[in-house]
Amino acid sequence: MSDYHFSQIRYRDKLAVRQMEQLLAQEGIERDGNLDYTVGLYDEDYNLAATGSCFGNTLRCLAVDNRHQGEGLLNQVISHLIDYQYRRGILDLFLYTKCNTALFFKDLGFYEIARVEGKVVFMENRRGGFERYLERLLAETDQSGLTGARVGAVVMNANPFTLGHQYLVETAAADCDVLHLFVVSEDASLVPFAVREQLVKEGTAHLNNVVYHRTESYMISNATFPSYFLKDKDTVIRSHAVLDITIFEKIAKALGIRVRYVGEEPFSAVTGIYNQVMAGQLAAAGLTLTVIPRKESGGTAISASKVRQLIKENRMEEMRGLVPESTYSYFTSDVGRETAEKIQNCADVVHY
């Protein structure tokens, strides 16, 4: 048996990256576009025998050369990645895997949260982590003191919070006794989570029947959902939607949610497919999807992408008609200058 050693694969090292991609391809895996650390396990001749990566608090792109199967190399890679994550202060870890390998990760101490049969399993390293998340949601609801027969939910990224987002929440809140508003917690957007959460709360402070929640790592975004072992883009979108909604159904059951509100999507084909899958999945669970027409300005639907473009071009006064005063005040203040400059320095602000 060979002696093995670990070495970080840096993305500017074209040879190492090519070796990694070839190894992943053996396992029917494409290199994921979202990776922030990758390691290789090499034999004494510096041949790549196994590899694995991290993105945020997820483990991904795990593969072992078929000539080294049965040597326990994947266990070593996962142990290395867990240690790396712990050393940078990330203790709660998540991974996505094929259904036929879920049992392997269970034996390594990961617990299943949800699955899409034949496609993907979503797992975490903490026993009862999702159950504790549900308990926090219930505690936040109890603390709000809000009760009622008609309970709804909105999930939004709000990157940043616009008059369109505000209209969606206002319309949903008017249709409910209690509205649970989830803000996507992961920091994969140009506007940091802490800012997005602040602007959502400020922009909806006039509503008295809203309970605010963080999605934490349980409601999945396009950035964290893996596409590297699913065969095509349509499968990725649909699998992402089914998995996300499977998790949402568990949250809805805990909170008594009966209806989910989404904005009409005239721009994004991906979101259109997602909403289509969501409608069927929720209906099968006895829940309702209500699609609310987008608020318009100048005959065009208001979008966060347009707002980001205006910020990038430093056209702040034009932005003013598309966002609540609280959002405008933030981006034109000294406090918001860093976020505004981040947007202005980004090459593409449309697809984040």
Question: Do residues 138 and 214 both lie within one domain?
Answer: yes
Question: Do residues 334 and 208 both lie within one domain?
Answer: yes
Pick the most confident of 45-59, 164-178, 223-237: 164-178
Contact 200, 233 (CB under 8 A): no
- In a domain, residue 103? The reply is no
What whole-number percentage of the chain has pLDDT above 90?
A: 68
How many structural domains does the chain have?
2
CATH at residue 63: 3.40.630.30
Confidence tier at 336 by pLDDT (50, 70, 90): very high
Confidence tier at 2 by pLDDT (50, 70, 90): low
Contact partners, residue 90, CB within 8 Å, separation at least 6 = 56, 57
Judged against a pLDDT cut of 80, whether residue 270 lies above it is answered with no
Contact 178, 261 (CB under 8 A): no
Q: At what angle are helices 129-144 and 233-255 packed, to 10 degrees?
A: 50
Give the pLDDT score at 188.
Answer: 75
Confidence tier at 48 by pLDDT (50, 70, 90): very high
Q: What percentage of the chain's residues is helix, strand, coil (to nearest 5)?
A: 40, 20, 40
Judged against a pLDDT cut of 90, whether residue 248 lies above it is answered with yes
Question: Do residues 66 and 149 both lie within one domain?
Answer: no
- In a domain, residue 87? The reply is yes
Which residue reads 């041949």 in tokens?
47
Query: Strand 178-183 vs strand 210-214: parallel, antiparallel, or unpaired?
Result: parallel
Give the pLDDT score at 100.
Answer: 85
Give the pLDDT score at 219.
Answer: 84
Alpha helices by DSSP H, the chain: 14-26, 73-87, 102-107, 129-144, 163-174, 193-203, 233-255, 269-284, 304-312, 316-319, 325-331, 337-344
What is the rounded average pLDDT of the residues 301-306? 90
Question: Do residues 145 and 79 both lie within one domain?
Answer: no
What is the rounded average pLDDT of the residues 69-83? 93
State pLDDT tens for residues 204-232: 999 999 999 999 989 866 545 655 445 56
Contact 257, 151 (CB under 8 A): yes
Output the CA–CA distances (angstroms, integers) from residue 252 to 176, 257, 282, 319, in the order listed: 14, 5, 10, 35
Q: What are the counts of helices (DSSP H) followed by strands (DSSP E) for the chain?
A: 12, 14
Give the pLDDT score at 228.
Answer: 44
Question: Do residues 155 and 67 both lie within one domain?
Answer: no
Structural domain including 319 reads: 129-344
Judged against a pLDDT cut of 70, whether residue 308 lies above it is answered with yes
CATH at residue 175: 3.40.50.620
State pLDDT tens for residues 85-113: 999 999 999 998 888 889 989 999 999 99
Least confident of 43-47, 76-80, 221-225, 325-329: 221-225
Of 139 and 271, the structure prediction assigns the larger pLDDT to: 139
- In a domain, residue 120? The reply is no
Q: For residue 234, which phi and psi values (nearest 5 degrees)? A: -65, -40
Q: Answer yes or no: pTM beyond 0.75.
A: yes
Give the pLDDT score at 272.
Answer: 76
Provide the b/e sequence for 186-207 (b: ≥16 CB within 10 Å).
Answer: bebbbbebebbbbbbebbbeee
Contact 261, 154 (CB under 8 A): yes
- HSE, side-chain direction, 13 A CA sphere, residue 249: 20
What is the rounded average pLDDT of the residues 240-262? 93
Give the pLDDT score at 236.
Answer: 72
Question: Do residues 219 and 289 both lie within one domain?
Answer: yes
Contact 49, 64 (CB under 8 A): yes
What whole-number percentage of the chain has pLDDT above 70?
A: 93
Confidence tier at 268 by pLDDT (50, 70, 90): low
Confidence tier at 299 by pLDDT (50, 70, 90): confident
What is the rounded average pLDDT of the residues 9-28? 91
Question: Do residues 149 and 52 both lie within one domain?
Answer: no
Question: Do residues 40 and 133 both lie within one domain?
Answer: no
Question: Do residues 173 and 314 both lie within one domain?
Answer: yes
Confidence tier at 1 by pLDDT (50, 70, 90): low
What is the rounded average pLDDT of the residues 243-249? 92
What is the rounded average pLDDT of the residues 273-286? 89
Judged against a pLDDT cut of 80, whether residue 182 lies above it is answered with yes
Question: Do residues 213 and 291 both lie within one domain?
Answer: yes
